[in-house]
């Protein structure tokens, strides 16, 4: 009896092993009508997306063409296979099934190029795995203080308030928030202004496959994240980009932690790109999957190239979007994907005094570029929860969107700069740019300084030539007009980027009065009635 039982057990062990459910990415060989669709890009992208790519010299290529739906239909019909997500950038689909059934796809379908399992070894046993998935937002969900305050410190810390004074509040910039749940964003008072201005553009829940992105109540993490950028409560709370427009994409499954969430994220980023989004904010990170330890990444994998989501984030950056991501709440354990990506602007956390907070994930030499890039307030940051209450929470989840909102304002002020140019400009404005560390990167940025530096370097001189004199000047500046210009718009900015003069001068009165200006360096921008411009540095004595 004992011997027969043992034999039975040995016979069935391989079956049970092969029946283990796995996640995998199935990469496909080709797409349909690629050349034709690239030649007619409005069939695959919105006009806003096409305009953004053209403005910044981003090539429309085969990655912009959708996955062949006929192939997906055939994969869905395969034995034991469930398709969860698709990626046009990778020409791949995320599937779930047994190892045998997934491997059968490669032999059954000629359009399957190769398969990549989430479990890279496929040797780790799963016996007895009943661990509860760790709540990655646990440190952030602690309601530290219920306090009706304001966002003055977290906005002023990065000098976003000075951009607001100059009327750069994110107007015309589109942000995609890729996160967990967004309950009550469509009804609560803190977002009434956003809705009234038609700046809440909708979104999609990639986990539950529904356009009702507000229905999931498992987590209000996305609601809190959005509030730091778009929240507005009169005399109590102002986000860093109150006039930007927002898409909301839910990719985080609050009930589980699985690599399929990486695939959902890539789908969302692709959707954002096709809609012409300018900035993506993500307050998510991946390295461990507690219920599926064989899928775990190591810190060595945080090398900017290994994980699926990191590779997707790099493509998102290549496509011209500015991808902002939280560094993570793992302290010395290090940044998590996709914050390790070179194309991602990674944000760490500091407290009210601008000092590093211990939970903020540190960078290391493993990353291909210095991480984090910069830092903003994430220690006891002010957020608005789904109950419409202003509270304080900890987490780089909030330093990231605080910074992303500030970047939206800067992007509004500098519409011709590319995503990578803005990233470098902001790094250079940060508090320890010359001596970066792995705690707060290049430091806390000064967005007003960044704008001033950009204006100093701007040289948009095409087809016309103005001249100004004297320079240095005390009370007035004379402008020499080109012959074909009758009137000129004059804008003068101080060194911090604040506009101090805005007027029109004409051929018969070419003098700019600068008596009221304090001594110092200013930027003069002259725009002729033929729309050509010149920019000068002016010294006021």
Domains and CATH numbers, the chain: 20-117 (3.30.70), 140-448 (3.40.50.200), 467-540 (2.60.40.1930)
DSSP secondary structure string for all residues of 424-448: HHHHHHSTTTTS-BTTTBT----HH
Per 3-state DSSP, the chain is made up of helix, strand and coil in percentages (nearest 5) of 30, 25, 45
Q: What is the pLDDT of residues 439-454, one digit of tens each?
A: 999 999 999 999 988 8
Question: Between 133 and 232, whose confidence is greater?
Answer: 232
Among 411, 433, 409, 430, CA closest to 420: 411
Chain position carrying tokens 């002729």 = 528
Q: CA-to-CA distance for 237 and 153, rounded, in angstroms?
A: 11
- Dig out the tokens for 157 from the structure: 């810390």
Cβ atoms of 31 and 62 within 8 Å: the answer is yes
**Helix axes 396-413 and 221-230, enclosed angle (nearest 10):** 30
User: Are 380 and 135 a contacting pair, CB within 8 Å?
Assistant: no
Q: For 269-318, how does the pLDDT look when each residue is reduced to its tens digit (9 = 90+)? A: 999 999 999 999 999 999 999 999 999 999 999 999 999 999 999 999 99
**Cβ-contact 19, 102 below 8 angstroms:** no
- What tens digit of pLDDT does each residue of 242-276 get? 999 999 999 999 888 999 999 999 999 999 999 99
**Which residue in 526, 105, 31, 527 sits closest to 536, CA to CA?**
526
- pTM for the model stands at 0.78
458 or 489: which leads in pLDDT: 489
Strand spans (E) along 444-532? 467-469, 476-480, 487-494, 499-506, 511-513, 520-528
In the three-class reduction of DSSP (H, G, I as helix; E, B as strand; rest coil), residue 29 is classed as coil
* pLDDT score at 134: 54
The answer to whether the CB of 175 falls within 8 A of the CB of 200 is no
| Other CB atoms within 10 Å distance of the CB of residue 430 | 22
Q: What is the pLDDT of residues 2-33, one digit of tens each?
A: 333 333 333 444 444 446 899 999 999 999 99
Strand pairing of 390-393 and 467-469? unpaired
């Amino acid at each position: 009896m004992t011997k027969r039982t043992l034999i039975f057990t040995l016979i069935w062990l391989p079956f049970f092993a092969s029946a283990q459910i796995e996640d995998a990415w199935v990469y496909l060989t080709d797409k349909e009508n690629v050349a034709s669709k690239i030649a007619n890009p409005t069939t695959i992208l919105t006009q806003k997306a096409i305009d953004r790519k053209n403005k910044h010299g981003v090539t429309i290529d085969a990655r912009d063409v959708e996955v062949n739906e006929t192939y997906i239909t055939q994969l869905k019909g395969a034995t034991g296979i469930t398709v969860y997500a698709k990626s046009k950038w990778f020409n791949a689909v995320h599937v779930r099934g047994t190892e045998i059934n997934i491997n059968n796809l490669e032999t059954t379908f000629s359009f399957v190029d190769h398969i990549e399992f989430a479990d890279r070894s496929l040797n780790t046993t799963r016996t007895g795995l009943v661990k509860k998935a760790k709540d990655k937002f646990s440190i952030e969900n602690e309601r530290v203080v219920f306090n009706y305050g304001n966002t003055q410190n977290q906005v002023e810390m990065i000098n976003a308030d000075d951009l607001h004074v100059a009327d750069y509040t994110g107007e015309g910039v589109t942000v995609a928030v890729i996160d967990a749940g967004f309950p009550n964003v469509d009804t609560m008072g803190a977002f009434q202004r956003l809705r009234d201005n038609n700046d809440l553009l909708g979104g999609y829940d990639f986990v539950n496959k529904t356009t009702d992105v507000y229905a999931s109540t498992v987590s209000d993490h996305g609601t809190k994240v959005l509030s730091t950028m778009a929240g507005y409560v009169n005399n109590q709370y102002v986000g860093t980009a109150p006039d930007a427009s927002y898409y909301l994409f839910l990719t985080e499954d609050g009930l589980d932690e699985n690599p399929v969430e990486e695939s959902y994220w890539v789908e969302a980023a692709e959707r954002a790109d096709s809609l012409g989004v300018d900035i993506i904010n993500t307050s998510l990170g991946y390295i461990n999957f507690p219920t599926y330890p064989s899928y775990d990444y190591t810190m060595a994998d945080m090398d900017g190239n290994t994980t699926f989501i990191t590779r997707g984030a790099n493509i998102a950056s290549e496509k011209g979007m500015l991808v902002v991501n939280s560094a993570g709440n793992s302290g010395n354990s290090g940044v998590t994907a996709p914050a390790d990506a070179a194309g991602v602007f990674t944000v760490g956390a500091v407290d009210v005094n601008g000092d590093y907070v211990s939970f903020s994930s540190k960078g290391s030499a493993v990353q291909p570029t210095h991480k984090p890039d910069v830092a903003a307030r994430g220690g006891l940051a002010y957020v608005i929860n789904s109950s419409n209450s202003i509270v304080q929470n900890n987490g780089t989840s909030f330093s990231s969107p605080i910074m992303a909102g500030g970047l939206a304002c800067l992007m509004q002020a500098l519409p011709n700069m590319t995503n990578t140019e803005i990233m470098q400009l902001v790094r250079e404005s940060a508090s320890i740019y010359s001596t970066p560390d792995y705690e707060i990167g290049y430091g806390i940025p000064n967005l007003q300084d960044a704008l001033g530096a950009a204006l100093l370097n701007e040289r948009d001189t095409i087809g016309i030539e103005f001249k100004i004199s004297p320079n240095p000047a005390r009370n007035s500046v004379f402008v020499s007009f080109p012959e074909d210009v009758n009137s000129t718009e004059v804008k003068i900015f101080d060194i911090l980027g604040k506009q101090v003069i805005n007027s029109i001068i004409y051929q018969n009165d070419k003098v700019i009065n600068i008596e009221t200006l304090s001594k110092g360096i200013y930027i003069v921008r002259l725009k002729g009635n033929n729309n050509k411009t010149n920019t000068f540095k002016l010294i006021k004595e």
